[in-house]
Amino acid sequence: MIKKFIDKLLGKSTPGTSGGKPHFGKREEVPASVHGINPELVDRRAAEVVATLKQAGFEAYIVGGAVRDLLLGLRPKDFDVATNATPEQVKGLFRRAFIIGKRFRIVHVVHGRGREHEVIEVSTFRAYLDNSAAGQVSGNEKTSKAQLAGMQHAVDASGRVLRDNVWGPQDEDATRRDFTVNAMYYDPVSQIVVDYHKGIQDAKKKTLRMIGDPATRYREDPVRIIRAVRFAAKLSPLGFTIDAKSAAPLVQSQALLAEVPQSRMFDEMLKLLQTGHAIATIEQLKKLGMAKGIYPLLDVAVERADTPFVKAALVDTDRRVNEGKPVAPSFLLACVLWEDVRNGWQERLNQRQHPLPALQEAIDEVFDKRIGDVSGRGKLAADMREIWVMQPRFEKRVGNTPFGMVMQPRFRAGFDFMRLRADVGEVEEALAEWWQDFQAADDERRDDLMDQAREEQKARQKAQQPVVKRVPRNAPAAAPRAAAPAEGADYPEEGMEFATEGSAPKKRRRRRRKPGGGAGGGGEGAAPATAGE
């Protein structure tokens, strides 16, 4: 009471305005009869984590987007838990729990094993840290000396939060979250929703509203700018929109993203494109006037989103995510940058470079220009390269190549990439269908497909073979002469020249018979039995 009276005398601003203490909100406990959450939509293991923490004497709630989705009648994909227990205390309560992170220390509680395992993310209530709130947190009796010692470096001069491992009460934890609809807490045991910032009302109005002053919140953590776009895209099919005050500073605040480490920006870009709402995200970026300037590689994706190939890749990625199938960032980025690789490759082929080295050079150029060192040239770059290098090999359907291709670990990604190329008419549909059949066929069927490919190759070669006329050397000078043979090509028989109609002739050899060896007789130089058939 005394502190509030002093604040009033000193003229400190009222809650919710900038310059004074932040608006921590008023706690409201909303019963099940009002919020209407269906308990059957709650993940059993998340509820067990909450119950275990409460039995140990701690506060614990399901928090964030899961509560928002439950209010909307949706089954959340992920469940996070918030508690007043420290990471070490949480870890001690579960057999398989791991503390991760430095800037944000959280605990992963693991249930199950193998592909069926599930991770429940547990975070400790955090204090709201800005230059005006730090003094208030320092007065919290629960704040340790070690935490207080690091608080002076927790926020930089511009207001950006550098470290967030200072624990605090639940009301401050709610205030440090971004949107009101993401700042609610649900207790699956008592079925109470705790709401500090009218999140339930905003959920009913389908409004995305930033807690506190939007410009200040974007400055505290510029990645909130990207999160605003992502949530707007995710919830736009449900009719959600960003309120005007929260949207107004977005474009102007974009420059703050330059302060964010490139590795984090790269990860945030992938979240925009790989959370099942890539098409809606790009629409939101254009709608908000943020189509350029967030991240260079994202700029390329937005610019090419309307081209048939990239659009097909984005639609396919959204489909796979919404069907619960895995997606790899290497595949989508390979699709976005394929235009650069293909053009660079064609330029080198026009310069008569060998196809494979030309393709490798084109890929290196794209990595240097578009990706830089963000990926560390590690697995991501290696997977992208393998997808691209595989493309010309799909044209080879004879010999051992098809068998070697289907054995490669990245074959499926390379095939899906080629399948998209066929969908937009970049390669023949028949080629994609052949490989679709081949990868799933038994040995007998594969032999049939190989025979089919050989017959198609012969027919194609026969159709492309130019008409060749034999002309004596002493023929009139007016007779047309062939262009000089390419380097490394076989030259014609002595005493004869080639004249062609159309392109330069294929190399031709005269078959020589050895004594006793006839056509098809098996002698050296004899034509194969199938030749010409």
**Enzyme catalytic residues:** 78, 80, 178
Q: 468 φ, ψ to 5°?
A: -115, 130
Q: Name the amino acid, one letter, at 76.
A: P
DSSP for 34-65, written as a single string: HH---GGGS-HHHHHHHHHHHHTT--EEEETH
| Cα 506 from chain centroid (whole Å) | 47
Q: Name the amino acid, one letter, at 237.
A: P
- Measured CA distances, 280 to 272, 275, 287, 293 (Å): 10, 11, 10, 18
Query: Token match 């919140």: residue?
Result: 217
Q: CB neighbours of 313 closer than 8 A, spacing ≥ 6?
A: 331, 332, 335, 336, 420
| Contact status, residue 181 vs residue 208, Cβ threshold 8 Å | yes
Query: Token match 């977005």: residue?
Result: 250
Q: CB neighbours of 360 closer than 8 A, spacing ≥ 6?
A: 389
Helix boundaries (H) for 114-261: 134-138, 145-151, 170-175, 199-205, 214-220, 223-235, 244-247, 250-253
Instruction: Enter the DSSP assignment of 182.
Output: G
DSSP for 227-262, written as a single string: HHHHHHHHHGGGT-EE-HHHHTTHHHHGGGGGGS-H
Instruction: Enter the DSSP assignment of 221.
Output: -
